[in-house]
Amino acid sequence: MRLLSNLRIGARLTISFVVCLAGMAVIGFGGYKIVSNMAGYVNELNNVRIPAIDFIMETDRDFQQLLVAERSMIFSTAGTEQFSGLVEEYETNLAQTEERWNKYKSLITTDEERAIVPEYEAARDEWKVLSRSIVDGRISDTREGRRLAIDLSLGLAAEAFENMRNYLDKLQEINLGLAEAAAVQAEEAYGNTTTLLLIVLSLGIVVSLGLAFLITRSITVPLKLVSSTASEISKGNFSIDEVALTGRNELAALAGEFNLMTSSLKRRQKSSNKWLREILRYLQPDLQM
């Protein structure tokens, strides 16, 4: 209160507005942080992890469809429309694996993924050589070509195919883990930021109410004191004490001016009473007669 008594009313009101604005700014910033954090994690999920998982799964699916076409060629008659359709399906799916793999590579953000990329591509290139030998052996439509295709498809090519797919499985597991981690972090960030925001909001309300009470009391109490003193003087009671207000503000200045006015009225009252007593004393003999 002593500090407030040295502040002008305008300064007190300014302080209250500044405190309220500061509280609103903190709350607004907290809200912005919630939205920003959530947007970051949602972006991580929607624009990186989910598409990455999707591209890996689509690449794996294309390989599976390609494998079906490759093995179906072994038991199809070369040169037929059915055989040509299987070759086209093989080539289409092979091209799609490259396209989708490159799209996934553009989304890679972790060193763990980057470390697997060359291992996968080496395994894929090894498998492609064997798979291409199977297809070329069937296109040649020779007994040796069919025998080679069967042996590779059931032996080395099958092993190379599964080895290649193991790397895709690892990449999928990594991205699933990262997606789950992003979801957990988003939930934790929301909970932590919301808790902090509620704490700041509660403190802001308490501080604002306390400041409002102090500022209101620092203005209304002196005004009531001046008003009460003025009321007593209007009733002719000049025995009351002066208004005791300290500080360097408008209310203290008002109290000072009011005290000067009160002192002046008291002096006039005393002077009037003195003259009245003199007149009564002068008239007293005549009144006794």
Three-state SS annotation for 191-259: HHHHHHHHHHHHHHHHHHHHHHHHHHHHHHHHHHHHHHHHHHHHCCCCCCCCCCCCCCCHHHHHHHHHH
Confidence at residue 239, expressed as pLDDT on a 0 to 100 scale: 62
Joined together, the tokens standing for residue 56 give 């890996």
Tell which wins on pLDDT, 203 or 91. 91
Return the pLDDT at 194. Answer: 77
pLDDT category of residue 287 using cuts at 50, 70 and 90: very low
Instruction: Please state, rounded to an integer, the average pLDDT across all residues of the chain.
Output: 79
Nearest CA-CA partner of 258 in 224, 283, 216, 288: 224
pLDDT, residue 277, reads 63
List all residues 6 or more positions away from 126 whose beta carbon is below 8 Å from its beta carbon. 160, 163, 164
Q: At what angle do helices 250-288 and 156-234 cross, to 10 degrees?
A: 20
What is the pTM assigned to this prediction? 0.64
pLDDT digits (tens, 9 = 90+) for 140-182: 888 888 888 888 888 899 999 999 999 999 999 999 999 888 8
Q: What percent of the chain has pLDDT over 70?
A: 69
| pLDDT tens track for 20-72 | 777 677 777 766 777 777 777 778 888 888 999 999 999 999 999 999 999 89
Identify the CATH number of the domain defined by range 2-208. 1.20.120.30
Straight-line distance from the first to the last Cα atom of the chain, in angstroms, rounded to the nearest whole number? 64
- Domain-wise residue ranges, the chain: 2-208, 238-288
Least confident of 65-74, 124-133, 194-203, 256-265: 256-265
pLDDT value of residue 238: 60
Q: What is the dihedral of CA 222, 223, 229, 230, to 10 degrees?
A: 150
Q: Which residue has the higher pLDDT, 20 or 73?
A: 73
Band (pLDDT 50/70/90 cuts) for residue 284 is low
Query: Would the pLDDT of 4 be above 60?
Result: no
* DSSP assignment letter at 77: -
* pLDDT band, residue 253 (cuts 50/70/90): low
Go through 257-288 and write b for each residue having 16 or more CB atoms within 10 A of its CB, e for each that does not: ebbeebeeeeeeeeeeeeeeeeeeeeeeeeee
For 51-82, letters b (16+ CB in 10 Å) and e give: bbbebbebbbebbebbbebbbbbbebeeeeee
Q: Are 172 and 57 in contact (CB under 8 A)?
A: yes
